[in-house]
Amino acid sequence: MSIERVGFIGLGIMGRPMAKNLIKAGYRLVVHNRSRKAVRELVSAGAEEAYSPAEVAERSSVVITMLPDSPDVEDVALGENGIIYGMKSGNYYIDMSSISPSVARHISEVMKSKGVHMLDAPVSGGEKGAIDGTLAIMVGGRKEDFEYVKPLLEVMGSKVTYVGSIGSGNTVKLVNQIIVALNIAAFSEAFALGVRAGIDPSIIYDAIREGMAGSKALDLRIPHILEGNFRPGFKLSLHLKDINNAMTAAGENGVPLFLTSVVREMMKKIISEGDGESDHSSIIKFYEKLVGVEVRNRRA
């Protein structure tokens, strides 16, 4: 059975290019979003407009959501005029947001009562990955459901991995977010030391990027930091949300997150000073203010 029409709800920094890639791949899209501007942009690209989550579900066999946090997903999926009221038995719901694993499991149980197949499939790769269709997608749910929607997900991601039962996708995403946050904090601390000692940060980057200290986070974020460009590829406030979810999951599983706790406090400090809507690489500003340096390109 082929997927005839896809619903897409949540056309933000990530959702908009993801939806566009589905249109380019030939899928018929029905879209809904709080911002009318984003809807108009997708309609001009070939999508159809719906005026509520329920209407999206009524007109689609597969519905995708890409929303900020757990309460948003619960409201869109189960709230007034929510997806569940338009879903038919046998339809598929893929939540690609980054939310609490326990919330994903709860929504899945409610969807199951109506015969709806749900998968949680959060992504990593930021705005560039969403635009290029090269996201890493971590999928939880029934294996047979994963196999059915995998071709759809492969339009948006170059690495689509089945990781286990429902909620597992978000658990793996939390693992990812912990590592990324700690990585950014680590190179921020290290670059602050190097710059304070008088070394050009662009030279530091050139010297270390191909060695053991190299990472995708380093390569994607340091060039922008050196330019003083903190336009969000992934907002610091959203990364803090993920870290808060990770701390909750850690408590539920009895796992201490010592380093993560420290980085969370750094994030909260930077956000309190007005950088919540900036890129998560703004973590470096914690060290810049602490040490009294700016990690910026000095080359002509």
The catalytic residue positions are 173
On whether the CB atoms of residues 127 and 233 are closer than 8 A, the answer is yes
CA–CA gap between residue 225 and residue 282 (Å, rounded) = 8
DSSP helix/strand/coil, 237 = helix
Buried b (16+ CB within 10 A) or exposed e, 136-166: bbbbbbeeebbebbeebbebbbeebebbeeb
Rg (CA), the chain: 20
Compute the residue count for the chain: 300
Write out the two tokens for 99.
């939310």
On whether the CB atoms of residues 172 and 163 are closer than 8 A, the answer is yes
Measured between its terminal Cα atoms, the distance across the chain in Å is 58
Residue 219, judged by CB atoms within 10 A of its CB (0-12, 13-18, 19+), counts as: exposed
On whether the CB atoms of residues 61 and 91 are closer than 8 A, the answer is yes
Closest CA to 151 of 6, 296, 253: 6
Q: What is the DSSP letter of 55?
A: H
Write out the two tokens for 295.
């990690």
